[in-house]
Structure 1
Amino acid sequence: MGDLDIRAAVAEDIPAIVGMLADDPLGAQRESPDDLTPYRSALERLTADPNQRLVVAVREGRVVGTLQLTIIPGLSRRGATRSVIEGVRVHADERGSGLGSRFIEWAIEESRRENCQLVQLTSDVTRTDAHRFYERLGFVASHVGFKLQL
């Protein structure tokens, strides 16, 4: 993987992160790279929350990937702690390089360090390539998800 560094995201990373979030048909509808104000506020909230990890992958000084890992303590499953992986994005130039696998491996190891018993994620039904990717990494499509837009 070369000189890849996975580290906590900082304010200077926001343009690159939002650019990756917006770089597909779904993200292009949801994100607003021309106004980074809400993203800066979100990063402040994430940074202040000890159960959140917003990270970036950096290669040769350039942000080439991002993901968010959330740690959720719970009562179900005998008081199990779980983690949720969200917002996984890899820069178009890096797709197919193994970065996505490295990122998910990092999230799983971080989840183990946090004593999580379960790692879960969701993926939009239209992202069939992502579904195959997650299945190759051992994830099982076990639930039907629902959302309510507020």
Structure 2
Amino acid sequence: MRRYNYEKQVEKWDVLEVTVEGHSDKNPFVDYEIQGIFTGKHETVTVDGFYDGEGVYKVRYMPSFVELYTFEVTGSAIDGEVLTGKFQVTPASEENHGPIRVANTYHFAYEDGTPYYSIGTTCYVWDLQSDETSEIR
């Protein structure tokens, strides 16, 4: 029986992470694969996992509905063994607005409709600035 861990409860739009011990011989980044199938009443989603080092593989999933989900994790990284589990998705907290999407063609909004305003800058001419200007303070 292979060891694996995951949270039994996660909020909507948060990330559930299933951590599994698997192969670390050969090149685990390319020679093995791991995959999860997450199923709820309103959706079934298949996601690829990844090698995280020291014999540990991870499969991550962001649920979209408040409901009970089940999952199956399998792959060559765990010799085809099927690991199963279930978790409850709770409503999103006040600060959790979900992923960002395009809204009204030219704008962005979170999944719950809250506007998203991107704030940033560009540094494409950073290497053309004087040493004094580009010095980090």
Shorter-chain TM-score range: under 0.3
Higher Rg of the two aligned structures: 2
Larger RCO, structure (CA 8 Å, separation 6 or more): 2
- The TM-score, its normalising length taken from structure 1, stands at 0.23
- The TM-score, its normalising length taken from structure 2, stands at 0.25
Q: Larger % of helix: which?
A: 1
